[in-house]
Structure 1
Amino acid sequence: MPQIDYYFSTLSPFTYLAGNRLEELAEKHGATIAYKPMDIIALFPRTGGTPPKDRHPSRMEYRMQELKRAAKKTGLPINFKPAHWPTNAAPSSYAIIAAQLSGGDVGPLVQGFLRACWAEEKDIATDEVVREVLGTAGFDPSLADSGLLTGAEIYAANLEEAVNRGVFGAPFYITDTDQRFWGHDRLDDLDAHLSGAL
C-alpha cells in the first residue's frame, strides 16, 4: 500500500485550493496519508525561500494572479486578503496532530481549518475557532486542550523532517519511493505517478 507524506501549512492558500483532491487520489490508489503540518514561515528561510510579505512586488503580483486563476479552476470560495492572515498556525496544527493520533479521518479537519482561514474570515489561532472546526469535522472539541506538549514536539519535528527531505513550500507531497510533488497543481502528476504512468 503506497503512502503519501503530506507536508502543509494551515496558512497556505494553495493548500486550501487543493481541496480534497489528495484524499480522493489516496482512495483511488489505496494509499495512506500521513498528515504533517509544519511551520512554513520558519521553513522558508531555511530552504531558500522568502515569506510572502517580504517578496519582491513582481512575485507578489504573480502570486495573486495564480491564486485567482486557481480559485476559478477549483470553484472554491476564497478571500484573497483574509482578515486573520497571517496568524499563529500552531493551535490549528496541534489540533490536527491530536486528531491524527486519535485515529480519526483528518482530511476534513485540515480542510476545515483552511476554509476557516481563507473563506470564512475566522482566526484559526483562537481556541473558539479551533474547537468549532474540530467539532464540525466530527472530533471532540476537547482535543484542543489535550496533547499540547506532544503537538508542539511533533510540529517542530515535522519542520526538521521537511527540511531534511527537501520540502520547501506547501502543499508538498512525498511518496514512499521519494517522489516529490510541490503544489496543488501537481496533483495530476502525483495521480499519474501512483498509476505507474509517470
Structure 2
Amino acid sequence: MSPQDAATPTVDYYFTLMSPYAYLGHAQVLAVAREAGARLVYRPARIFELFSANGGLPLGQRAPARQRYRLVELQRWREARGLPLNLAPKYFPVDIALADRCTIALAEAGADPSGFMDAAFRAVWAQDLDLADPQLVARLLTEQGFEASTVLAEAEGAVSGEIYERNTQAAIAADLPGLPGYVLNGEPFWGQDRIDALRDALVSGRGPYTSR
C-alpha cells in the first residue's frame, strides 16, 4: 500500500438492492465519496438477519403508523433526491440475494459495481421489474458492459456466499439497525438521511464518535 492509499479515507457501504432508502442515497453517497476523495467498499448484507440481531422489523410486521409514516418519508425523499420511485412496486419484497451477490462478484473482480447497482435499484423502484429473475439480472449486467455468465457464476459460488455472510455479521457488529449504512473509522451512519453527516466527518477529518 502506498502512502497515498494509506491516507485515503475508507467508507464501508452496507446496503441491499431491495432497500428504497439505499436507492435514494446511492447517487448521493457516490458524490460525497468523490468530493472527499474517499474509497467506498461495497458490502451488500442480508437485511432480515440484521433486523433480527439489532431490533428492526420487516415492513409487514411494523405498526400501522410506522408503515404509513414510511410512505410519507419516501415521498419527501423522492422529491428531495429528484428520483423516480414507485411507492408500491410490483415485485417487492422478493429475494434479491443473487443480485446482491453480483455486486460482491464485481467488487471481488476489481470492477466498479455502482452502475449495476443503480440499474438494479431502478429496476425495482422505478420500472416494476422482478430483481429475483436471473434473466433480468443477467440483462442488467450485460447492459453495464459485464460478461453476465461469468459474474453470475461467481455470484452463485461459495466465496460470494461467505462474503455476504461476513458483511452481514460486520453490519451487525457495527450497530447498524438497518440499511443502508455507512461506517467510517468504526463510526456508523445509519440511513441515507445521514449522508450529510458522513460528508461532514470526511471533510473535517475529525475522529470517530463512539458508544464504547
TM-score normalised over the length of structure 2:
0.89
Q: Secondary structure at the match of 2:163?
A: helix
Contact 1:82 1:118 in 2 (8 A): yes
Q: Secondary structure at the match of 2:11?
A: strand
Distance 2:173 2:188 in 1: 13
Contact 2:16 2:45 in 1 (8 A): yes
Find 1:184's aligned residue among 187, 192, 196: 192
How many correspondences in the alignment? 197
1:86 matched to 2:93? The reply is: yes
Find 1:195's aligned residue among 190, 200, 203: 203
Distance 2:155 2:88 in 1: 32
1:42 matched to 2:61? The reply is: no
Larger Rg: 2
Contact 2:12 2:40 in 1 (8 A): yes
1:59 matched to 2:66? The reply is: yes
Distance 1:17 1:68 in 2: 11
Q: Secondary structure at the match of 1:146?
A: helix
Q: Which residue of 2 aligns with 1:158?
A: 167
Distance 2:96 2:80 in 1: 26
Contact 1:39 1:89 in 2 (8 A): no
Distance 2:24 2:36 in 1: 21
In the TM superposition, what is the alpha-carbon distance from 1:34 to its structure 2 partner? 0.7
- 1:46-97 residue CA offsets vs partner (Å, 9 max, x unmatched): 1111111110000001111000111011110011111111010211011111
Distance 2:105 2:173 in 1: 24
Distance 1:128 1:67 in 2: 29
Q: Which residue of 1 aligns with 2:16?
A: 9
In the TM superposition, what is the alpha-carbon distance from 1:139 to its structure 2 partner? 1.8
Alignment of 1:69-148 (within 5 A): 69-142=76-149, 143-148=151-156
In the TM superposition, what is the alpha-carbon distance from 1:169 to its structure 2 partner? 0.7
Distance 1:21 1:140 in 2: 27
- 1:102-138 residue CA offsets vs partner (Å, 9 max, x unmatched): 1111111111111111111111111111111112222
Distance 1:79 1:183 in 2: 19
Q: Secondary structure at the match of 1:145?
A: helix
Q: Which moved more, 1:12-21 or 1:142-151?
A: 142-151
Distance 1:144 1:76 in 2: 28
Unaligned runs of 5+ in 2: 1-7, 207-212
